[in-house]
Structure 1
C-alpha cells in the first residue's frame, strides 16, 4: 500500500535543566530522543537573574550565572559521552524557566522537562513551572517520568478521546516509527459522562458501544492508511477512571502521547484533570500535544 502520509515533522529537541536529578534524567532522555530524530539538542538553564534583580547582589547574580554555566557544561559533556555525534548547544538565560524554554523552542520542535526537582524547574505540582511549561507551550512538551533503568517495551501509547485527537495520534505514530515500535491506540470512556445518560452508559447500550467503536475505528484506519508499515492496535475500554486505565497501560509503554486540552468550562491556558493525573502518575514519559494547533489552523484558513 502506498503511504498517504500527512504526519508532523518532529523537529529539534530543547530540554530544561535545573541541577536536580530529575533534570539530569530529562536531559539524557532528551539526548536519546534527539539522536533518534537525528536532530540537534538544545540545553537551557533559566537563571531568572532578571526576575530577581531587586533581591540579588551583583556578586550573587554572578554566582548564579557561574553555577548555571557549570551545570550546562557538565550536562553537555554527559550528553556527548552518550551520543558523540549529536549536535549539542547550551543556553544560559537571564529570564525565568518558563519564558526561557518557550523562547528557546521558537515555536517549533519539542520541549522536554523533568517530573520534579529542587532547582529552577521546580516540582510538577499544580501551578508549578513544569505544568506552566506544558500548559503554555505552543509546541509539544514531553514530561520525563519513569525510571532511567526501565526496559523498553516496544510500544508507543496514544490516548484517543475523539476525532480531534488525530493530530496527536499522528505524533504518536511518528514516535513509534522512530523507535521501530508498535502503536497502541486506547480510547477510555468514562462510565458516568457519556452518551445520553449515565444509566444508558452503565447499561452498556448498543449506542454507547457503537460510538466507542466508530471513534476509535476512524482514527485507527486513518493512521493505518498513512503509516502502512506500522503495527497499530486499537482498544476501547469503559471505566469509572480514565486516568487509572491510562496509568496502568503506561506500565507497558515507552511513551504516552495525548492532546493537552483545556479543562471543560475553563478559559486560558489550563490543562485538564486527566492530563494532570497522567503527568503525576504515568509510568513512562508523557508527551502533550498542544490543543492550540486546531485554533491556529482555523485562524489561518
Structure 2
C-alpha cells in the first residue's frame, strides 16, 4: 500500500458564523479543536455585500456590514472567555459565505460549519451553505453535529471504504492522538452492492468479504506502524445499509472521519449517498477529507 508514514498536518481551524445558534456552537467546538492543535482559530463571516449592492440601498449594505462585524466581535469574545490562551483572528468578507470559507480554508486549514444555518428548517438537516461548503471543499471540512448527545468517549471513528481509506484514517489517527483517545477503523460492506446480479454477489460472499477485510487490515497495519502509541481497533461489518451502520456507530464516537466522496453530476459537485446521509444524521461531528485523484468512481 502506497503512502507516506508522516502524520498529516492538520493546520489551523476556520469556522463560519452567521448569527445562528448552531454556528455559535460550531465556533466553540472549533475553538476547542484549535486549542488541541495549538493553532490559531479564524472566525469568518461572509456577508455577501458585494452580491447585494445592486439590489439594496447603501444604508442597508452598511447595516449588514455593521451587524457582521459586531457578530464577529461577539463570537471572538465568547471564544476568548472559554479559551483565554487561544489566538483568534476574525475576517469580515464581502463575498458570499461559501467562497469566503473555501478561500480562508485554503489559506489556513480545516473548515468547520454548524449542522444548519440561520435559514435552516430542521435541527437534523445540514443547511444549504454547509452542503455547498462540503461539496466543493478542497480542504478538510468538519460538520459539528451531536455535541449535546452525551459525555465524550475519547474514540475517533474512521470509515474505511477500501485501500484509498489510508489518508482519511491517518487524519483520524492524528485526531485521536490529540484527544489522547483511541481509534476505531470501521469498514461496512453492502452485500447488495451493484456489481452485477445479486445472485452472483451472493455466490461470491466469502471472496468479497475476504477482499474487504484484506483492505481494512492493510490500512490498520499501516496506522499501527505510523502511530505505535495509539490504541487501534479494526472492525468489519456486513449490512444492506452502510450509512445506517455508520450512523449507529457514531453514537459512541467523538468524531467520525471519512473520505469526502462525491458522485458525478452535471450540476456540479454533489455528495455521494453515504456521505450525504452522514452529514445530515450522524450523532457526532463529521470530518470529511477531500478525495484525491487516484480514487475514481461514485460512492456506492
Say whether the fold is shared (TM-score over 0.5): yes
Query: Any idea what SS the aligned residue of 2:235 has?
Result: strand
* Runs of 5+ consecutive residues of structure 2 not aligned to the other structure: 296-300
Specify the alignment match of 2:92 in structure 1.
Answer: 92
Specify the alignment match of 1:78 in structure 2.
Answer: 78
Specify the alignment match of 2:128 in structure 1.
Answer: 128
Query: Any idea what SS the aligned residue of 2:192 has?
Result: coil
Specify the alignment match of 1:17 in structure 2.
Answer: 17
Shift of 1:205: 2.9
The within-5 A match list for 1:240-251 is 240-251=240-251
Instruction: Name the CA distance, whole Å, in 2 between partners of 1:22 and 1:168.
Output: 25
The within-5 A match list for 1:288-299 is 288-292=288-292, 294=294
Query: Any idea what SS the aligned residue of 2:271 has?
Result: coil
Specify the alignment match of 1:36 in structure 2.
Answer: 36
Specify the alignment match of 1:255 in structure 2.
Answer: 255
Shift of 1:129: 1.3
TM-score, normalising length: structure 1: 0.90
Specify the alignment match of 2:298 in structure 1.
Answer: none
Instruction: Name the CA distance, whole Å, in 1 between partners of 2:156 and 2:71.
Output: 32
Shift of 1:148: 3.5
* Runs of 5+ consecutive residues of structure 1 not aligned to the other structure: 296-301
Shift of 1:198: 2.6
User: C-alpha root-mean-square deviation of aligned residues, in Å?
Assistant: 2.2
Instruction: Name the CA distance, whole Å, in 1 between partners of 2:246 and 2:114.
Output: 20
Q: Kindly tell me: are residues 289 and 114 of structure 1, through their superposed partners in 2, closer, same or farther at Cα, counting changes over 3 Å? A: same
Instruction: Name the CA distance, whole Å, in 2 between partners of 1:23 and 1:202.
Output: 46
Residues matched between the structures, number: 290
Shift of 1:154: 1.0
Query: Any idea what SS the aligned residue of 2:270 has?
Result: coil
Shift of 1:232: 0.6
Specify the alignment match of 1:62 in structure 2.
Answer: 62
CA offsets 1:225-254 (integer angstroms, 9 cap, x no match):
110001110111110110000000000000
Instruction: Name the CA distance, whole Å, in 1 between partners of 2:123 and 2:103.
Output: 21
Question: Does 2:150 align with 1:150?
Answer: yes
Query: Any idea what SS the aligned residue of 1:70 has?
Result: helix
CA offsets 1:63-98 (integer angstroms, 9 cap, x no match):
111111111111000100111000001011100000
Query: Any idea what SS the aligned residue of 2:276 has?
Result: helix
Shift of 1:294: 4.8
Specify the alignment match of 1:230 in structure 2.
Answer: 230
Shift of 1:150: 2.8
Q: Kindly tell me: are residues 270 and 127 of structure 1, through their superposed partners in 2, closer, same or farther at Cα, counting changes over 3 Å? A: farther
Query: Any idea what SS the aligned residue of 1:106 has?
Result: helix
TM-score, normalising length: structure 2: 0.91
Question: Does 2:109 align with 1:109?
Answer: yes
Specify the alignment match of 1:51 in structure 2.
Answer: 51
* Aligned 8 A contact 1:10 1:37 in 2: yes
Shift of 1:110: 0.2
Specify the alignment match of 1:186 in structure 2.
Answer: 186
